Structure 1
């Protein structure tokens, strides 16, 4: 529907477009409401206003999902461009002097699951700061940090040890993960998939199985989360994982399945003592991301 030539076109609000993009990316009004810090009803009102302005629907809703209409797909392209242009313009005035390179270390699991979304948002708010990422085991990342090869590093920490100079960002239960409908947990000896020595999840699993007196064999070993998931999904083994890693294709196993509790693990962050302004900005951004996870369960 074309607007009359003598009638001014409506101005799309960036705040409404931000909500629209959040819904398109999460596929859920509820999930989007968490990311934009609004109530679900407020999010619904924003989208109604947007659709009223455009004179056509942008989403198809049913009881289980939210999908874009063809007009919504077209709008998504424009919305992302408008939001990106706004961020670029504002950053020129709000943070004109913060630029540089940040060397960031992360374990594989969080490098795969968390960093993409965290770094995407950081790039949007700090376009003049480049982040170079190193993925490695926590023990090696500590060594790189001590050698001043990194400015910031995330690392897994055992619950019963102190780590000087490390700020704890997250404490989370470790659970046994198995394939949905799988039977690996019933086999004897128990087939487990573990990381190499020095992994906090491995240490918790070995200690718990030893305390229970449960026989086990290492059926699969990988330092990468993708490899671990492949072994679980193939029902070759079960594995210790953070509770938040349990997705729709995995199930949490426990005492009812004859398995011991594994306790908690922690994610810590170390920052160089002589941190530059870009490094401090990146560290603050990571803290905020974990704060959001602690509140909403989502990064």
Structure 2
């Protein structure tokens, strides 16, 4: 598995679980120089059976793929949201050299095909949903619907000011509603506009900033909230949504392209009034079973194992 120093945050569970589930030997190669790819090619020394997985379609991977003779090794690329939605990298990748393309949702499948229609003819395109380790999350035992959570980078795509409008609407009905945010950094304009609006709406006393929360501490953070308010303009999947649901939170998701292909209609809102109504009727542990049945880590590992086995059968035929 070829990874990049700042883009390997979705791989730990796969690397840990895949060998036992699939029977494949799996090795991570963190790309810091061209020599790392050469080492990976040397390690995959049986081209008739081995595969190289590029995690993210992100520089320098597109250029590496175009310039490399893989000598019969199967090539897998997993595409995430940013490569297909906000950058030209999917459109400019040499897909004729890629055997399998993995995306995490139906919406992302359509976005990849829109950016690179040739993928239909050059590669096998698979939807493999992200998987969450459900054992890390326990149902909330002290649920309080007035505690609202919001998490993510403070950037315009995450649309944090919408959470303020929703909080303001809720405060017109009950001033016990409180918004807690985690995840700092992002864009200065998003932070500035959020703080400005919070002051103008008189909501600064109803907001808590928890800053950056470690991955290990996220289950406890979600469990401290009653409802996750998710305001992004687009997500390929939405790990925070799944994690919150597993922690017993109800979830309120701003409608965005592809949301209804993953999340129940009852969790999606399109207006501020709709969000407020959804939050006011929230219930604890409402979507935990939904996530367990659809997006558990075991399902993801099984699907990847099947993909690898398919590659092996193709190589043998």
TM bracket (short chain): under 0.3
TM-score by length of 2: 0.26
Q: Name the larger-Rg structure.
A: 1
